[in-house]
Amino acid sequence: MTRGKFIAFEGGEGAGKSTQARMLAAALAERGSGCVVTREPGGTPGAEAIRALLLGTAGEGWHPRAEALLFAAARSDHVERLIVPALAAGKWVICDRFVDSSRAYQGGAGGLGDADVMALHQVGSQGLLPDLTLLIEVSTETAAARAHARDGGEADRIGGRDGAYHARVASAFAALNKAEPERFARIDGDADAALVHQAVLAALLLQ
């Protein structure tokens, strides 16, 4: 059986990743392609439990190293129990965030460094990377408006960090794209969802 395709949506808060993941899944279903839509952290019961620990706002939170370890543990379970089996079954896997988020958030904005994040990923998930990462980029104003509409002013622990932190995240994503252009497709996310969806399909050669 032909291996499925692994597509990740990346970007900062309010970029529209979840919306575009659902729209892509619907487009693939119309074409008769089997797909799994999932998210990080999460996607399996164990990973969802770790998600609650990471994003919940109770308590003092985690320092960057502990945060990176928790993300890596959640991802390892996700890869082992959901992503790899789905790909082996010939399905598309559409993931709302994957390791590039850890590289941008914990590695870049958190100061841990890319090498350490990728070392954890090698141990936990055998270095698995998406076939293509769709990096949705939006203006600060668009991101803030969408995040507020989504969260109602009640952001999770990471989404609620200050603007300087999220600016570092955006800079880290841009650096990853520049370093690995063959693995990234940049998508202008400021347009309405339908136009962004068309850009996603074009990047995947599905038009």
Dihedral over Cα of 120, 124, 128, 133: its sign: negative
Q: Read off the pLDDT of each residue in 26-49 and give the average, rounded to a whole number.
A: 97
Q: Per residue in 98-135, pLDDT tens? A: 999 999 999 999 999 999 999 999 999 999 999 999 99
pLDDT of residue 87: 98
Rg (C-alpha) for the chain, rounded Å, is: 16
Count the Cβ atoms, other than its own, within 10 Å of residue 127.
Answer: 11
- Please state the length of the chain: 207
Please name the residue that has the structure tokens 């998210």. Answer: 39
Q: Return the CATH number at 25.
A: 3.40.50.300
pLDDT of residue 206: 80
In a domain, 148, yes or no: yes
Continuous segment of H or E residues that includes residue 6 = strand 6-10
What's the N-to-C CA distance of the chain in angstroms? 25
pLDDT of residue 6: 98
Q: Read off the pLDDT of each residue in 62-82 and give the average, rounded to a whole number.
A: 96
Q: Read off the pLDDT of each residue in 172-194 and give the average, rounded to a whole number.
A: 95
In a domain, 161, yes or no: yes
Average pLDDT, the chain: 93
| Residue 151 pLDDT level (bands cut at 50, 70, 90) | low
Q: Read off the pLDDT of each residue in 63-72 and give the average, rounded to a whole number.
A: 95
Q: How many domains does the chain have?
A: 1
In a domain, 1, yes or no: no
Q: Per residue in 24-33, pLDDT tens? A: 999 999 999 9
**Partners of 202 in the β-ladder:** none
Q: What is the distance between the alpha carbons of residues 97 and 86, in angstroms, rounded to a whole number?
A: 17
Q: Residue 156: is its pLDDT beyond 90?
A: no
Give the Å distances, CA to CA, from 65 to 41, 164, 194: 16, 20, 38
In a domain, 43, yes or no: yes
Cis ω for the linkage preceding 45 (within 30 of 0): no
pLDDT of residue 160: 84
For 7-16, 45-54, 99-108, which range has the lowest pLDDT when averaged over its residues? 7-16
Strands (E), 27-149: 35-39, 92-96, 132-137
Percent of the chain with pLDDT over 90: 78
**Partners of 36 in the β-ladder:** 93
* pTM > 0.75: yes
| β pairing state of 35-39 and 184-188 | unpaired
Q: Residue 141: is its pLDDT beyond 90?
A: no
Helices (H) and strands (E) in the chain, counts: 9, 5
**Partners of 134 in the β-ladder:** 9, 185
Q: What residue numbers bound the domain in which 59 lies? A: 6-203
Give the Å distances, CA to CA, from 23 to 28, 66, 118, 189, 192: 9, 34, 30, 14, 13
